[in-house]
Structure 1
Amino acid sequence: MTAPELHLDEQELAMQKRRAAISSVIGTTIEWYDFFLYGTMAALIFPQLFFPKGDPYIALMQSFTTFALGFVARPVGAAIFGHFGDRIGRKTTLVVTLLLMGLATALIGFMPSYDQIGLWAPLIVTLLRLIQGIGIGGEWGGAILISMEWGDKNRRGFMASLPQMGVPFGLLLSSVVTTLIISMSGDGFYTWGWRIPFLLSLILVFIGLYVRLKVLESPLFQETLAKKDVSKVPVGEVFMKYPGEILWSMLSRVVENGSFYIFVTFIVSYGTMFLGMDKSIFVNATIIAAFANMFAIAYFGHLSDKFGRKRVYTTGVVLMMLWAFPYYWLVNTKSVALIFLATIMAMFLHGLLYGPQAAMIAENFPTRLRYSGASLGYQLTAIIAGGPAPLISTWLLHTFNSSVAISFYLVIMGIVSLAGVMMLKDRTHQSLS
């Protein structure tokens, strides 16, 4: 759709493109701040706060189980908000997902502990985690589409990669806030300090709403509305017409999604419980590595516009598989410098995957079904990869008492991803319908 059809002059059109990109980055940053904050606390403090006292291994497994449940909820959110995103629009849906996620996160900050309310504590925190998962499940599809669909044909990979940067921004923000609160509160972190990062979510939500409400609906969806081509049941239709695209999108993400939560969430408990090192080392390594992740996401999203999504993505999968063993070799030295190096390299490789991924998946679905199809293909992976990754890694470490088993686990995920990406079509240089 051209500027005249949107009744926007060139200056206004350029402004809307910038707003779409900026609002997507800010919105996804807030959503991922909320989501990652829970993951960090699940490793650091939730086993002691919300679960019965006893074997630390059992408590950690219980904590990571609630963490995984948030991922199970994500496809539910993808289906719910995919339906509305393809029927009433990307913008309105994104406002609702932001509110849902922010309020659930803030409520966790008010939670009483297991010692105070018994079994109600793990039950309520699990419910709030499920609500978080539903919110983030609906967020991703809308954020990348409103940016990508406002972008030019030759820059779709780059424009779609910008909301992906909300992941390292959110990770960075949650890590920095957690580190500052740990430093400032001292021993009080385990009683009141941990609540502050969750309550801050309310302020971030108001900022996100202010920015998002200034963005117009995407031109491609406006065109769909004008043609009266809106699907009545988009989720059902996309499953009927594009089941293969959903499955291949899901499988292509396995190593990207699973490895991320091993490098970011599981590594904190691995370093503290297995290596006996201070948790701040791994939190700080993650903070530094987030910058490498940001750069890689934008750069390789840009490169995918030149060399094609599949070529860039496949390269990333192979390199991630090759890094599976050296990563743990470096971490197991207990050298702080080498731990930082291992983490930075791991997150750079993750960015190589995550940059071109959004456009690669979204371009395989038509506009009238793109929110539902892309969201489901993306979020279903969470059930088999990202969600259970810390849980499976904890079990592998407990069973084999060695990180080698986790490295093999990463390689297996890579093989699955190669199979998925080979089956997807590369529509890098095609017009979107």
Structure 2
Amino acid sequence: SVLLTMEWGDQNRRGLLGSFAQVGVPVGLVLGTGGMTLLSATMSDDTFNSWGWRVPFLASLVLVAVGLVIRLKILETPMFARVLDQGKTASAPVAEVIRRHWREILLSAGVRFAEQMPFYLFTTFVLIYVVQRHHYSKTFVLTAVLVGAAVELATIPYFSHLSDSLGRKRVYLAGAIIAGLFAFPYFAVLTYGGPVPIFIAVVLSMIVHSMMYGPQAALIGESFPTHLRYGGAGLGYQLASVFAGGPAPLLATWLLHETGTPYSISIYIVVAAVITVVCCLVLPDRSRVNIDDATVYSRALK
């Protein structure tokens, strides 16, 4: 979906247009967290833990059906249609993109580490940590995440728009560096702060996330030529999800248990930020490349 918005729209606004699909994440968080907050506030803990938490997941099946219908009905972009007309599609696109653009795939995965890994900590691990540490209600933490997600509805498009004027890498690097710097104060507040500072820290963490997540679609999508863009961007995205996002809450729990200090998790975030900064510096900024011309763009990738 991010590639569709990028390829259909104004090429000078790829960052902003690519972020429209990214906004789906905070929208989902608002709906999901809002549902969880409502259920946890109206149900007993036993009822919620038994079956109440499943309700939002069942409700999401409606959105899955809507998304499927949209994807089946939507037309190919003019850019990809030209590739089809010229017969330049790859017979084995995954194999070809791995063979020709393995470097871009790895760099695309690397630039997601500082966005993907902390995001899971900011939205899931924080719930367990704050509830167990301070014995605050789940509703309190869920409300903080809900407000942070609502703020992202504005900050994701804003930072994406900023990347169109300042360049993708500048905005993304700023977000990765701030994520690393934010790691220690964040867990200090979660550990020793009161309700208001904790609430503010959770909301701020979502803004830091949006600095990278907003321009991310364009940054990664611009790294691959039209006929291989979907496969290359998809592989980069999923590699980061597997190695950075998915294991993050479990690794954070293990680190806390083994070290006894939340600052070990801060170091974990800093390591992810360093990986992202290095990969982002190596990945060329192609904000100004005309991806509407597949030939020129393919030449720029060589």
Give the TM-score band, short-chain normalised. over 0.9
Please point out which of 8, 19, 22 is paired with 1:164: 22
Structure 1 stretch displaced more, 189-198 or 378-387: 189-198
Task: Give how far 1:208 is off.
Answer: 3.0
CA contact (8 A) 2:41 2:139 kept: no
Q: Secondary structure at the match of 2:135?
A: coil
Please point out which of 185, 190, 206 is paired with 1:347: 206
Q: Aligned ranges for residues 105-120 of structure 1 at < 5 Å?
A: none
Task: Give how far 1:344 is off.
Answer: 1.0
Quote the residue 2:257 is aligned against.
398
Q: Secondary structure at the match of 1:194?
A: helix
Quote the residue 1:55 is aligned against.
none
Query: Do residues 153 (structure 1) and 16 (structure 2) align?
Result: no
Task: Give how far 1:190 is off.
Answer: 3.0
CA contact (8 A) 1:275 1:334 kept: no
Residues 184 and 277 of structure 1, relative CA distance in 2, 3 Å threshold: closer
Please point out which of 230, 239, 244 is paired with 1:385: 244
Q: Aligned ranges for residues 28-107 of structure 1 at < 5 Å?
A: none
Query: Do residues 298 (structure 1) and 157 (structure 2) align?
Result: yes
Q: Secondary structure at the match of 2:246?
A: coil
Task: Give how far 1:276 is off.
Answer: 2.8
Q: Secondary structure at the match of 2:110?
A: helix
CA contact (8 A) 2:173 2:280 kept: yes
> 1 CA distance for matches of 2:272 and 2:94?
27
> 1 CA distance for matches of 2:160 and 2:286?
14
Residues 241 and 213 of structure 1, relative CA distance in 2, 3 Å threshold: closer
Quote the residue 1:327 is aligned against.
186
Residues 391 and 190 of structure 1, relative CA distance in 2, 3 Å threshold: closer
> 1 CA distance for matches of 2:54 and 2:190?
30
Moved over 6 A (4+): none
CA contact (8 A) 2:40 2:138 kept: no
Q: Aligned ranges for residues 75-224 of structure 1 at < 5 Å?
A: 143-186=1-44, 187-224=46-83
Q: Aligned ranges for residues 4-15 of structure 1 at < 5 Å?
A: none
* Aligned amino acid, residue 246 of structure 1: I
1:262-290 Cα deviation digits (max 9, x unpaired)? 11111111112233322221111100001
RCO greater where, 1 or 2, for CA within 8 Å and sep 6 or more? 2
TM-score (norm 2): 0.92
Query: Do residues 242 (structure 1) and 101 (structure 2) align?
Result: yes
* Aligned amino acid, residue 178 of structure 1: M
Query: Do residues 337 (structure 1) and 192 (structure 2) align?
Result: no
CA contact (8 A) 1:146 1:218 kept: yes
Q: Secondary structure at the match of 1:315?
A: helix
Task: Give how far 1:334 is off.
Answer: 4.3
> 2 CA distance for matches of 1:279 and 1:206?
30
> 2 CA distance for matches of 1:210 and 1:234?
25
Quote the residue 1:112 is aligned against.
none
> 2 CA distance for matches of 1:148 and 1:318?
26
* Aligned amino acid, residue 245 of structure 1: E
Query: Do residues 412 (structure 1) and 271 (structure 2) align?
Result: yes
* Matched residue count: 291
Please point out which of 223, 230, 234 is paired with 1:375: 234
Q: Runs of 5+ in structure 1 lacking a partner? A: 1-142
1:171-227 Cα deviation digits (max 9, x unpaired)? 111101111122333343233323322221232233334544553221111111111
> 1 CA distance for matches of 2:64 and 2:241?
24
Please point out which of 343, 362, 368 is paired with 2:221: 362
1:293-349 Cα deviation digits (max 9, x unpaired)? 222210111111111101111111111111111111222234111111101111101
> 1 CA distance for matches of 2:258 and 2:133?
13
* Aligned amino acid, residue 239 of structure 2: L
TM-score (norm 1): 0.65
1:353-396 Cα deviation digits (max 9, x unpaired)? 11111101110100100000011112101222111111111011
CA contact (8 A) 2:40 2:139 kept: no
Q: Runs of 5+ in structure 2 lacking a partner? A: 295-302
Query: Do residues 281 (structure 1) and 114 (structure 2) align?
Result: no
